[in-house]
Amino acid sequence: MKKTAKLRKILIAEDDPFLVKIASNRLREEGFEVDTAGNGAEALEKISKNHYSVVLLDLIMPMKDGFEVLRVLRQKKDKTPVLIFSNLAQDEDKEEVKRLGAKGYYVKSDIAIDEVVKAVKNFLK
C-alpha cells in the first residue's frame, strides 16, 4: 500500500447547500477530509474545536458574515489559513479581508470547482 501524505482537513463555510455539496465531493475525491458550516457562527465554533489546514469562507452568510468570522479569528490570534470564496468582487472587500488576514480571494462566479480544488492544493503545497 502506497504511503499517503497526512490527511488534510478543510472547513467549507458556505450557506449555499448546492455549492457545499459540489465542493465537498470534489475535495473528498482529492483525498481531503471536509467539514462544513452553514453560517459564520457555526464556522467559528468548528474552528475553535478542530484543526483545519485551510478554511474556505464565504463572505455573505447568516448569523455572522465572513468579515466577522475573520475579525474574531484575528482577535483570538487564530492562525488558521482562510481562503475567501465569495461573489463580492469589489476592491474594498478584497482589501478588507486581506487586512483581516485572508490568504487568498476568489470570486465564485469567476472560478470553476476544479479551480477551487487546484487553489486549495496549491495553497497547501
DSSP 81-115: -EEEEES---HHHHHHHHHTT-SEEEEGGG--HHH
Query: What is the model's pTM?
Result: 0.89
Q: How far is CA 84 from CA 3, 69, 120, in A?
A: 31, 11, 11
Q: What is the mean pLDDT of the chain?
A: 90
Task: Supply the pLDDT for residue 13.
Answer: 97
Q: Using an 8 Å Cβ cutoff, are 25 and 52 in contact? A: no
Q: Which domains occur in the chain, in start order? A: 8-124 (3.40.50.2300)
- Whether pLDDT at 27 is above 80: yes
Convert the pLDDT of each residue in 70-97 to its tens digit.
999 999 999 899 999 988 878 898 999 9
pLDDT value at residue 1: 35
- Non-local (6+) Cβ contacts of 92 within 8 A are none
Q: What pLDDT is attached to residue 6?
A: 56
Lowest mean pLDDT among 38-52, 69-83, 91-105, 108-122: 108-122
Return the pLDDT at 7.
58
The tens digit of pLDDT for each residue in 1-24 reads 333 445 589 999 999 999 999 999
